[in-house]
Amino acid sequence: MRIEQHPILEFDRKEKITFFFNGQEMEGYASETIVAALHAAGVKELGKSPELHRPRGLFCAIGNCSSCLMVVDGQPNVRACVVKIKPGMQVELQSGKGDLK
Amino acid sequence: MKKAYDIVIIGGGITGCALGFELAKRGRKDILIIEKEYLTSGATGRCGAGIRQQWGTVLNATLARDSTYLFENLEEYTGYKGDCGLNQGGYLIVAYTEAEWTQFQKNLELQHGLNIPVQKLDPQGAKEIVPHLNTEGLYGATFCPTDGHADPFHCTFAYAKGAERLGVEIATYTEVTGLRTAGDKIIGVETTKGYVQAGTVINASGYNASAITKMVGMEVPVYPERHQILITEPVNHIQDPMVISFHYHFYCQQTPHGSFIMGIGDPTEPVSYNIQSSWKFMEDCATQVTHSLPILKNIRVVRQWGGLYDMSPDANPVIDEMKGASGLYTVAGFSGHGFMVAPKTAIIIAQQLTGEKPDIDLHLFSANRYETGELLLEPSVV
């Protein structure tokens, strides 16, 4: 879901690009963060809590809360709510606290 | 606080609390621990909390070995309900110079003589234990699987609570402002909460030790030196041992929580009470650690902090009765390894003070070694 019209804000979505989520091709706009593009595509579960392994979704949306830490291009613990998508970017759900590579 | 105590211990770090516990355990009554702020507020609560038996002198290696045995059952030993967080992932000590490697072989012989299970490893063997170790320029390494780390807060609280159960009183937020003597005998301690008489005073105040002895006009060569530590975000477990290099002055371990905790010594650090964090430390530490453990190059730093070592000229403690103030003992100057030797050191001092035969002779830590020049130089310090 995306807001198409807003009484005050204007959206410059920029060009449409593709990236990958768990290996699956996804579409989004170049102006969007990873989480925004995933939400628009219906993906709301962004990870699991480290101790009890319960689903975690978007919470603070400003890069503070650690609720949306994901593996991006092999790099663990990326705050997906503040990082923008790039063409061909590989986004994956993270297992546990993330594996250093 | 009462008006008079048999023994007053100055300092609520692990040394002071362990001493209070061991003395009370041996039947001594009327013990007071005085702490300027809260328990662990000095060096103990800011330390790296490593436990290493791989030392280069018999005395330090023995103290650390026996303390490790005590850390292994500290909860039961002190009757503590919490978890002291001991994690024996080992210490991998890496040698980057030939001189260092030669010294390590000597250390190894000494450690084997004390039944400390240290292994000698070539660079490939070191890599098997820490696969992400950069072996470039590495001569070899030694590894002791029973080394590790523990939680400095819980360990101190374990001793403090155990001591309180045995009747020891602990006065926090109480600062010592003076010492009273009669002739050459200590008779009491002035504090911000009033005067208390004392038969014996133990100065376990870490980097404040010389400020305390100056109150009776005596000097001990113990001075504060800032050391800093940084901690990263947690990641899945990849490293068991503490990796440590004396040549580059750094150490780095992964905590059970997943964070990497690391520090690097700065040989140019001045004598000072400064505990501010510095950019220089962050840069030096990151540069060195990511060179030796390149896998950490993209991990994020969460915070850093500074604390004070109670340094002495030979990086070993002063454990002695002060000449000219009988009844005043100084137990300080551990130079960054007080936590790991505190359990056994406390037992020996308690044995000495209660007339038992001490398990280990501590005369090498006497205060007059700085006058006679018979320093106890420890080849293995960060």
The residues that bridge with B328 in the sheet, in sequence order, are B201
The reported pLDDT for the residue numbered B317 is 96
Binary contact (A100, B234; C-beta < 8 A): no
Identify whether the C-beta of residue B76 lies closer than 8 Å to the C-beta of residue B67.
Answer: no
The reported pLDDT for the residue numbered A50 is 83
CATH domain B4-47+153-222+314-372 topology: FAD/NAD(P)-binding domain (3.50.50)
Q: For chain A, give me the number of helices (H) and strands (E)? A: 1, 7
Instruction: Tell me the chain A residues in contact with residue B238 when contact means C-beta distances shorter than 8 Å.
Output: 99-100
- SS3 state of residue B180: strand
Cβ neighbours, 10 Å, residue B152: 23
* Confidence tier at B382 by pLDDT (50, 70, 90): low
Identify whether the C-beta of residue B147 lies closer than 8 Å to the C-beta of residue B88.
Answer: yes
Question: Is residue B380 predicted with pLDDT exceeding 90?
Answer: no
Instruction: Tell me the chain B residues in contact with residue A101 when contact means C-beta distances shorter than 8 Å.
Output: 295
The per-residue b/e assignment along A16-41, b for 16 or more CB within 10 angstroms, e otherwise, is ebebebeeeebebbeebbbbbbbbee
The reported pLDDT for the residue numbered B373 is 86
* Confidence tier at B358 by pLDDT (50, 70, 90): very high
Binary contact (A98, B235; C-beta < 8 A): yes
Identify whether the C-beta of residue B189 lies closer than 8 Å to the C-beta of residue B2.
Answer: no
- SS3 state of residue B324: coil
Report the Cα–Cα distance between both ends of chain B, in Å, rounded: 40
How many contacts does A have with B, using Cβ atoms within 8 A? 27
Check if B301 contacts A (Cβ < 8 Å). no
Nearest CA-CA distance, residue A39 and chain B, Å: 26
pLDDT in tens, B226-253: 999 999 999 999 999 999 999 999 999 9
The per-residue b/e assignment along B224-262, b for 16 or more CB within 10 angstroms, e otherwise, is bbbbbbbbbbbbeebbbbbbbbbebbbbbbbbeebbbbb
- Averaged pLDDT score across all residues of chain B: 95
Output the 3-class SS for B78-136.
Answer: HCCCCCCCCECCCEEEEECCHHHHHHHHHHHHHHHHCCCCCEEECHHHHHHHCCCCCCC
**Which residues 203-242 on chain B approach chain A with CB closer than 8 angstroms?**
233-236, 238
CATH domain A16-92 topology: Ubiquitin-like (UB roll) (3.10.20)
Query: E strand or H helix at B370, and its extent?
Result: helix B369-372
Mean pLDDT, to the nearest integer, of B40-49? 96
Nearest Cβ partner for A76 among B132, B235, B296: B235
The per-residue b/e assignment along B353-364, b for 16 or more CB within 10 angstroms, e otherwise, is beeeeeeeebeb
Instruction: Tell me the chain A residues in contact with residue B299 when contact means C-beta distances shorter than 8 Å.
Output: 100
A17: amino acid identity, one letter: I
Binary contact (B296, A100; C-beta < 8 A): yes
Query: What's chain B's length in residues?
Result: 382
- SS3 state of residue B254: strand
Mean pLDDT, to the nearest integer, of B59-82? 97
pLDDT in tens, B246-290: 999 999 999 988 999 999 999 899 999 999 999 999 999 999 999
**Residue in A closest to B260 by C-alpha:** A100
**Residues in chain A with pLDDT values less than 50:** none
CA-to-CA distance for B47 and B112, rounded, in angstroms? Answer: 28
User: DSSP for B282-313?
Assistant: HHHHHHHHHHHSGGGGGPPEEEEEEEEEEE-T
Rounded to two decimals, the ipTM of the complex is 0.84
The reported pLDDT for the residue numbered A20 is 98
pLDDT in tens, B165-181: 999 999 999 999 999 99
How do the domains of chain A map onto residue ranges?
16-92
In the block, which residue shows the tokens 């041996």?
A: B26
**pTM of the entire structure?**
0.91
CATH domain B87-146+223-311 topology: D-Amino Acid Oxidase; Chain A, domain 2 (3.30.9)
How do the domains of chain B map onto residue ranges?
4-47+153-222+314-372, 87-146+223-311
B192: amino acid identity, one letter: T
CA-to-CA distance for A6 and B254, rounded, in angstroms? Answer: 49
Mean pLDDT, to the nearest integer, of B363-370? 92
Identify the residue among B133, B233, B255, B290 best suited for mutation to test binding to A, counting A beta carbons within 10 A and taking the highest: B233
CA-to-CA distance for A25 and B206, rounded, in angstroms? Answer: 60
Binary contact (A97, B298; C-beta < 8 A): no
